[in-house]
Structure 1
Amino acid sequence: MTVRSFLLHSAIIVGMAACSSAKKEKEEAPAPPESLPMEVLSLDNLDAFAAPDNNWQLAGNVYVNRQQPQQMEVKEGKGILAFATAKGNSTLRTKMEHGDIDLELDFMLSGQAGATLLFQGKYPLQLKDSWLKDSVTVDDCGAVEGKAPLLNACKAPGLWQHLEVKFRTARSGYSATGTTEAGFERVVLNGRTIQQEPSLDSITTDTLLKQVQTGPLGFLVKNGPVAFRNIRYKTYNDKRAALTNLQYHVYKGVYKNHDTIKLLMPVRSGQTDSLTYRVGDKRAQLLLEGKLQLPVQGEYVFSIRAGGPIRLMIDGKEIANNGGTRDYQRAFYGDTVLTAGPHDFQLSYANYDECMVLLYEGPHIPFTALTTPASERLVEPSPSMEYVLKGEPAIQRSFIEHRGKVDAYSMSVGAPVGINYAYDMVTYSPLLAWHGRYIDVAEMWHERGEQQLARPLGATLDLAGIPCIAELSSVKAPWPDSMRVDSSDYTNRGYMLRSDGLPMFFYTLHQWKVEDYLHPRQDGKGLQRDVTVTSNGAKDKAYWLLASGGIIEKLADGSYAVDDKNYYIETAVKPEIVEDDGQYRLVLPLETGNKTTDIHYSIIW
């Protein structure tokens, strides 16, 4: 090899390596955040609270026996705020004061317990053991002053429940009447919206000054024990960004490569006082540029949605780009750190479908639109089409959402007693379970029914949705987390309806024959699962998976708290708790040879 060819060969290798490295770096680049992080209320000690009394303590773990009302066991440690006594009452207030606030936390109630969150120390949101109540009132969990929750989304005593609240404070001098009332813009309990924009009586008296009311977050307990953890929040003020010196340029044609317009002359230009696609033309490229005036320094997150290619540039740097899609319902994000004051702003949009939305979030600034409301293309919501159970069970094949993805092989099963579940017909495992009403089928039937989604009408319990039987070398071997439709080891043998109208599923894994029947418990407190596994001469070891997820604990009453006290498994069999890289499994070995293993357990939430 000559020196020249050697150098050329080396350059090609180096170039290929550099391209490969750049490609790998691009593939591994983390996705931009979709929101700024929340502040954490530290529970390493009680320093975040004003004058806590002796009824409050920190804990590393707590346990509630759901069969015993008003009882809680506390394990020493930190990270959990506990009021562990059934007697007395107490109000604990934060040193932090807030006006507008987004709040998230987990709470746990003992049987018959109740507490109240006091926003600004005076606006109450009720937390109460309302588990399994058919209808809820102003005295139940999630109620605010004079307004009952929209539905009962409560879990059983002793389980952690997740709460999300958007609270907006009263303001004076902002309206013709002099005040605006405080209110809960949204309350979400265990994934379901239970309050939507109920206003509260305003206690504001100053009608002259534009001032925001503030006050502490209070934890009021009249009927314990209760516990809280993972308390996070964002507080907001009234400072906002502004666009100035805004100009528009309209170009003939639409381009995915936004730099193409640098080679073109605009067909027209002008000034505008609002950020909207309406200053442009259909099937034309629009460039909007000016100054973005920011009130404070810090990290900012931007969100864009558009019916066509769109790109946001700030100070000559690309912040967000939708890659040219025309999916105007899908948001794309970008984040950057910016100083207070003016910044060069540029938004380029190829107008295919007349939708252009730009939002931003900043330090103590909630997500706010920079574009006008008229610049958004609204999607008409599907009407509600509830599948009402009329005294007998129902089965509906459809798609269903599970852990952020659409499962195309699901079956929704509903029982008139208000215990429902969704089952995957490829992995042969339950995906979801929920109490209350059955499903909304509007997205299966309205217009073209393109999404084919059935939506549960209760607060759903997400289950693992992975295969429940596996042949493994040992109980600690990795468990299969999925099953491909085109290369499944399972053989589908269908299902039959039992005398109660509910399905029993049949399938095989190699020589293992499985019969799987899920039905409501007699007491209505959860799902009973009855499984029969016949080995048919199988010699390899096989195991049954009762549950998997985060931490699994065996409780004093013999049941198991699964996925960090997300739900209970109650069983007479003796499964083993297996830990694998931070995840836990509840596993039972199966009989080999020509034997039958009967497995009975309940899922309670």
Structure 2
Amino acid sequence: MELMNRFCPRILSACFVLILFMAPVANGQDMIEHPLTDLDGFQAPADNWRIVGAIEADRHGVADIQTTDGDGILLNMPSDGARENLFTMWEHGDIELSFEFMMPKGSNSGVYLQGRYEIQLFDSWGVPNPTYSDAGGIYQRWDPARNEGERGYQGHPPSMNVSRAPGLWQDFYILFQAPRFDAEGRKVSNAKMVKVAQNGVVIHENVELTGPTRAAGFSDEQALAPIMIQGDHGPVALRNIRYNLHLPAAAEDEKPPRFVPAIHVEPTSEAEVIRGFVNHDGAKKTRTISVGDPDGVHYVMDSAQGAVLYAWKGRFIETTDMWHSRGTQQLAVPRGSVLTFSGRPAVARLESDSIVWPDSMGADYVFKGYDLDADSRPSFHYTMSDVTITDRLLPGDNGRQLEREIVVSGDDSGSSEIWVLVAAATTISEGDDGVFRMEGNTYYLELLDSGGGEAIIRALDEGEELLVPVSLSDGSATVRYALIW
């Protein structure tokens, strides 16, 4: 078996297009927070709307939601007797809007700018080719006077599906420009979705809206009107609703736009493996390996630490700054909705479970390279003193999750115990189903094989760690887990 420990000059499927480098996705400075201590900020809320303090929405059960008393979360639970839409007390023209939402499996809702122009909220987890009716879509307009098959028109799908699993918090950032009217009230310019970003990824830019979308709260167009949240379809929760009643000004330090040929790498029939530099936690990592999979789930491995830095879905990677004129930063940039991990080594020896996990591998760590399977998916190999480690990541559940398998082999006679760091996060909690909720329901982690050890969650000064001890009494041990989002 030949291991690859240098750049392999394979032909990559690079897409050369002309793009405009834009300002950051979100401004979000000095935004007004809509209070969710009660429903006073909404017009005549029906009984399907209430305020709660915490929520769990099942990714397997349709309309299955568990709540805890408190405040901070707006919840819609429609029933046969109450399924009304909800309107804000305040009205808006141009607006900068952000919010988070969560819904159970199979649910459906929407947020209507000015009560008229819908951004769809939907359980679109794993949908390969999203349409206007999927999460992030700008819903179609509807004209019953048109011919059959033509009544729905001007729907706009998101540029890619970056939706997360049911029961996880997702976020939207929207810049909306209201329609303009002259002194006589005639419309002189259409409404426009200037920018819509879902989970940190821009999915719409400069989309003109010629009129209200289907099921809007109003059929006309106005300069000022309230936000409407759809309440007659399915359960949905929202929190951290923030807004500015104007569009943000460009940052003073924003660099002037420039046109360059963008280089996008996308896997087709087999995985793409790219070695290069990646930014992580404010530092440039110079020994990283980015792996893109045709199933649409990708990751970055730091070969200097045996650590996964990022995982994401959607499109793979942009290498413009690596390959265009040998750019100053020479960085590869993920193109989808990214999960960020601690970057700490996955395997270490600890004298006890109270010892601090090392920030980096010791002098006895040696990266031995990687080999590729028939689909060009790599297995990484390294040694740590008297043990060898094989680390492999594969897509699972039709690209809905990323499964990691760490095999530790060698001598178990050392004075300290071998542990696997499964995850480090701000918060880690185990659900009734045995699946861990990470970062306040930002993603799930399912421990598939603990290698014979019992997983523990230990508290840190900042955050928590999920650790598994492994025994090499049989010569090797395997730890497997799935990242689900």
TM-score bracket, normalised by the shorter chain, equals 0.7 to 0.9
The answer to whether residue 156 in structure 2 is matched with residue 153 in structure 1 is no
Distance 1:449 1:189 in 2: 28
Quote the residue 1:194 is aligned against.
203
Q: What letter matches 2:243 in structure 1? A: Y
Q: Is the helix fraction higher in 1 or 2?
A: 1
Matched AA of 1:518: L
User: Residue 367 of structure 1 is aligned with which of 249, 263, 274?
Assistant: 249
Letter in 1 for 2:298: N
Residue 45 (structure 2) aligns with:
52
Cα contact 2:289–2:302 (8 A) shared by 1: yes
Q: Shift of residue 165 of structure 1?
A: 0.8
Contact 1:187 1:194 in 2 (8 A): yes
What do residues 515-554 of structure 1 show as CA deviations (whole Å, max 9, x unaligned)? Answer: 1111111543211111112352222133211112122121
* Aligned residue type for 2:59: R
Say which of 87, 95, 104 aligns to 1:101: 95
2:60 pairs with one of 56, 63, 67: 67
1:483 to 2:360 alignment: yes
Q: How many residues align?
A: 430
Alpha-carbon offset, residue 184 of structure 1: 1.3
> TM-score, normalising length from structure 2?
0.81
Unaligned runs of 5+ in 1: 1-33, 204-210, 237-364
* Whole-angstrom distance in 1 between the partners of 2:170 and 2:207: 22
Q: Are 1:216 and 2:226 counterparts? A: yes
Which structure would you say has the larger RCO, counting Cα contacts within 8 Å and 6 or more residues apart?
Answer: 2
Shift of 1:489: 4.9
Amino acid at match of 2:89: K
Tell me, yes or no, if structure 1 residue 430 matches structure 2 residue 308: yes
Q: Give the 5 Å matches for 1:444-523.
A: 444-480=322-358, 482-483=359-360, 488-523=363-398
Instruction: Judge conservation of contact 1:70–1:86 (CA < 8 Å) in 2.
Output: no
Percent sequence identity over aligned pairs = 32
Bigger Rg over Cα = 1
> Matches of residues 240-279 of structure 1 in structure 2 within 5 Å?
none
Q: Secondary structure of 2:321's match?
A: helix
Aligned position for 2:151:
none
| Counterparts in 2 of 1:52 and 1:180: CA distance versus 1, 3 Å | same
Structure 1 consecutive aligned stretches of length 4 or more whose deviation exceeds 4 Å: 85-88, 174-178, 368-371, 592-595
User: Structure 2: how far apart are the matches of 1:370 and 1:58?
Assistant: 39
2:262 is aligned with what amino acid? S
Alignment match, 1:230: 240
Q: Deviations over 1:360-416 (max 9, x none)?
A: xxxxx7325899xxxx97453332323232312221101223355543221111222
Distance of aligned partners of 1:472 and 1:41 in 2 relative to their CA distance in 1, 3 Å threshold: farther
CA deviations 1:229-283 (Å, max 9, x no partner) are: 11111223xxxxxxxxxxxxxxxxxxxxxxxxxxxxxxxxxxxxxxxxxxxxxxx
Partner of 2:147: none
CA-CA distance at 1:188 after TM superposition: 0.5
| 8 Å CA contact 1:504, 1:515 repeated in 2 | yes
Corresponding residue of 2:438: 562
**Closer, same or farther: CA 229–178 of 1 in aligned 2, 3 Å:** closer
Distance 1:390 1:121, change over 3 A: closer
| Partner of residue 575, structure 1 | 455
Q: Matched residues in 1 for 2:444 and 2:183: separation?
A: 49
**Amino acid in structure 2 at the alignment position of 1:117:** V
Q: Give the root-mean-square deviation of aligned CA atoms.
A: 2.8
Q: Which amino acid aligns with 1:411?
A: I
SS of the counterpart of 2:376?
coil
**Conservation of the 8 A alpha-carbon contact between 1:535 and 1:593:** no
Counterpart residue number, 1:14: none
SS at match of 2:158: coil
**Separation in structure 1 between the aligned mates of residue 481 and residue 31 of structure 2, nearest angstrom:** 39
Structure 1 pair 529/35, CA: closer, same or farther in 2 (3 Å)?
A: closer
CA distance, structure 2, for counterparts of residue 174 and residue 450 of structure 1: 51
- 1:114 corresponds in structure 2 to 108
Tell me, yes or no, if the aligned pair for 2:425 and 2:463 is still in contact at 8 Å. yes
Match of 1:77, SS state, is: strand
The runs of 5 or more residues in structure 2 that have no matched partner are 1-26, 140-154, 213-220
1:134 paired residue number: 128
Cα offsets for 1:412-440 (capped at 9, x unmatched) = 11222222111111121111222233223
